Chain A
Amino acid sequence: MAEITKANGIGDWFDQRLATKKLAKVMMTEYWIPKNINFLWAMGVVLVVLFKILIVTGIFLLMYYKPDVNSAFDSVNYTIMQEVEYGWLWRHMHGVAASMVFLVIYIHMFAGIYYGSYKKGREMIWLTGMAIFGLFSAEAFSGYMLPWGQMSYWAAQVITNLFGGIPLIGDGLVIWIRGDYTVADATLTRFFMLHVFLLPLAIILLIAVHFYSLRVPHVNNQDGEDLDFDKESKKYLDGKKKESKVVPFWPIFLAKDFFVVGIAMIVFFYLTFYHFNFAMDPINFEPANAMKTPAHIYPEWYFLWSYEVLRGFFFDIAGISAMDIGLAAFGFANVAFMLIPFLDRDPSVKPAHKRPYFKIWFWILLIDMVVLTVYGKLPPLGINTYIGFVAALTFLVLFAALPFITKKDAGGAK
Chain B
Amino acid sequence: MRELKILGVVIFFTALVYIGVEPFAHSQMHPKVAPADFMFKDLKTNNKIGNAAKGAENFMNAGCIGCHGLKSQGMPNPMDDATASASFGVISPDLSSAGLIYESNFLMALIKDPTKALKVEHKFNESKFHPMTKFYGLGGDIDQEIADIVAYLKSIAPKSLTNSEVFEDACQRCHDMKYANQFSKSDFTLLTKYMGSTAPDLSMMIRSKGKGYLETFINDPQKQLEGTGMPRVGLTKDAQAQVIAFIETTGDRKKAERESLGPKVIGFMFIFTILAYLWKIKIWRELD
Show the binding face of A for B, using Cβ within 8 Å.
35, 38-40, 74, 77-78, 81-82, 88-89, 92, 103, 107, 241-242, 247, 251-252, 255-256, 258-259, 261-263, 265-266, 269-270, 272-274, 277-278, 280, 282-287, 295-296, 301, 304, 366, 370, 373-374, 376-379
Instruction: Return the chain A residue nearest B278 by Cβ.
Output: A259
A214 vs B277: C-alpha distance in the bound complex, in angstroms? 27
A82 vs B10: C-alpha distance in the bound complex, in angstroms? 37
Given A88-B258, A255-B276, are A283 and B208 also a contact pair (CB < 8 Å)? Answer: yes
Of B28, B203, B262, B272, the residue contacting A379 (CB under 8 A) is B28
A98 vs B28: C-alpha distance in the bound complex, in angstroms? 26
Q: Which residues of B contact A261 (CB under 8 A)?
A: 276
Q: Which residues of A contact B25 (CB under 8 A)?
A: 374, 377-378
Q: Which residues of B contact A278 (CB under 8 A)?
A: 18, 21-22
A40 vs B25: C-alpha distance in the bound complex, in angstroms? 29
The answer to whether A370 touches B272, judged by C-beta atoms less than 8 angstroms apart, is no
The answer to whether B254 touches A88, judged by C-beta atoms less than 8 angstroms apart, is yes
Instruction: Return the chain A residue nearest B26 by Cβ.
Output: A377
Against A, the Cβ 8 Å flags (1 = close, 0 = not) of B209-236 are: 1100000000000000000000000000
The answer to whether A255 touches B280, judged by C-beta atoms less than 8 angstroms apart, is yes
Against A, the Cβ 8 Å flags (1 = close, 0 = not) of B163-183 are: 000000000000000110000
Question: In B244-281, which residues have CB < 8 Å from any A CB?
Answer: 251, 253-254, 257-259, 261-262, 265-266, 269-270, 272-274, 276-277, 279-280
Q: List 13 A-B contacts (CB under 8 A).
A: A38-B3, A82-B179, A82-B254, A241-B286, A241-B287, A242-B287, A266-B273, A278-B22, A282-B209, A285-B207, A286-B208, A301-B21, A373-B17
The answer to whether B262 touches A273, judged by C-beta atoms less than 8 angstroms apart, is yes
A287 vs B22: C-alpha distance in the bound complex, in angstroms? 22
Of A39, A81, A103, A366, the residue contacting B3 (CB under 8 A) is A39
The answer to whether A296 touches B29, judged by C-beta atoms less than 8 angstroms apart, is yes
A88 vs B261: C-alpha distance in the bound complex, in angstroms? 12
Instruction: Return the chain B residue nearest A377 by Cβ.
Output: B25
The answer to whether B207 touches A269, judged by C-beta atoms less than 8 angstroms apart, is no
Min CB–CB distance B207 → chain A (angstroms) = 4
Against A, the Cβ 8 Å flags (1 = close, 0 = not) of B6-40 are: 11001001101110111011001100000000000
Instruction: Return the chain A residue nearest B254 by Cβ.
Output: A88
Of A89, A287, A370, the residue contacting B261 (CB under 8 A) is A89
Min CB–CB distance B254 → chain A (angstroms) = 5
B284 within 8 Å of A (CB atoms): yes
A92 vs B279: C-alpha distance in the bound complex, in angstroms? 31
Instruction: Return the chain B residue nearest A261 by Cβ.
Output: B276
A-B contact count (CB 8 A): 133
Name the residue among B14, B272, B280 with the largest chain A CB count within 10 angstroms: B280
The answer to whether A38 touches B21, judged by C-beta atoms less than 8 angstroms apart, is no
A153 vs B262: C-alpha distance in the bound complex, in angstroms? 31
Min CB–CB distance A132 → chain B (angstroms) = 21
Instruction: Return the chain B residue nearest A305 by Cβ.
Output: B17
Of B10, B179, B261, B265, the residue contacting A107 (CB under 8 A) is B10
B159 within 8 Å of A (CB atoms): no
Besides A256-B280, A273-B259, A370-B13, 19 other A-B contacts (C-beta < 8 A) = A38-B6, A40-B10, A77-B207, A78-B179, A251-B283, A252-B287, A255-B276, A256-B284, A259-B273, A266-B273, A278-B22, A284-B208, A285-B207, A285-B251, A296-B29, A377-B20, A377-B25, A378-B25, A378-B29
> Count the B residues whose beta carbon is within 8 Å of the partner chain — how many?
51
The answer to whether A242 touches B284, judged by C-beta atoms less than 8 angstroms apart, is no
A373 vs B21: C-alpha distance in the bound complex, in angstroms? 7
Instruction: Return the chain A residue nearest B270 by Cβ.
Output: A266
Of B14, B269, B270, the residue contacting A103 (CB under 8 A) is B14
Q: Which residues of B contact A38 (CB under 8 A)?
A: 2-3, 6
A304 vs B200: C-alpha distance in the bound complex, in angstroms? 30
The answer to whether B279 touches A258, judged by C-beta atoms less than 8 angstroms apart, is yes
Q: Which residues of A contact B277 (CB under 8 A)?
A: 259, 262
The answer to whether B14 touches A262, judged by C-beta atoms less than 8 angstroms apart, is no
A336 vs B147: C-alpha distance in the bound complex, in angstroms? 73
Given A274-B262, A374-B21, are A242 and B288 also a contact pair (CB < 8 Å)? Answer: yes
Q: Which residues of A contact B179 (CB under 8 A)?
A: 77-78, 82
A148 vs B220: C-alpha distance in the bound complex, in angstroms? 30
Given A258-B279, A273-B266, A377-B25, are A252 and B284 also a contact pair (CB < 8 Å)? Answer: yes
Min CB–CB distance B42 → chain A (angstroms) = 26
A286 vs B259: C-alpha distance in the bound complex, in angstroms? 23
Q: Which residues of A contact B22 (CB under 8 A)?
A: 277-278
A285 vs B261: C-alpha distance in the bound complex, in angstroms? 23
Min CB–CB distance B195 → chain A (angstroms) = 14
Q: Which residues of B contact A366 (CB under 8 A)?
A: 13
Given A241-B286, A252-B283, A296-B29, are A77 and B13 also a contact pair (CB < 8 Å)? Answer: no
Name the residue among B6, B18, B25, B287 with the largest chain A CB count within 10 angstroms: B25
Given A77-B203, A273-B266, are A370 and B20 also a contact pair (CB < 8 Å)? Answer: yes
The answer to whether A374 touches B24, judged by C-beta atoms less than 8 angstroms apart, is yes
A40 vs B10: C-alpha distance in the bound complex, in angstroms? 10
Min CB–CB distance A156 → chain B (angstroms) = 18
B241 within 8 Å of A (CB atoms): no
The answer to whether A374 touches B270, judged by C-beta atoms less than 8 angstroms apart, is no
Q: Which residues of A contact B262 (CB under 8 A)?
A: 269-270, 272-274
Min CB–CB distance B257 → chain A (angstroms) = 8
B79 within 8 Å of A (CB atoms): no
A348 vs B202: C-alpha distance in the bound complex, in angstroms? 61
Q: Which residues of A contact B20 (CB under 8 A)?
A: 370, 373-374, 377
The answer to whether B276 touches A370, judged by C-beta atoms less than 8 angstroms apart, is no
The answer to whether A269 touches B279, judged by C-beta atoms less than 8 angstroms apart, is no
B64 within 8 Å of A (CB atoms): no
Q: Which residues of A contact B207 (CB under 8 A)?
A: 77, 280, 282, 285
Given A39-B7, A262-B276, are A255 and B29 also a contact pair (CB < 8 Å)? Answer: no
A278 vs B274: C-alpha distance in the bound complex, in angstroms? 28
The answer to whether A255 touches B284, judged by C-beta atoms less than 8 angstroms apart, is yes
B118 within 8 Å of A (CB atoms): no
B204 within 8 Å of A (CB atoms): yes
Of B204, B266, B269, the residue contacting A286 (CB under 8 A) is B204
Name the residue among A274, A283, A285, A296 with the largest chain B CB count within 10 angstroms: A285
A304 vs B24: C-alpha distance in the bound complex, in angstroms? 15
Given A241-B287, A266-B266, are A304 and B280 also a contact pair (CB < 8 Å)? Answer: no
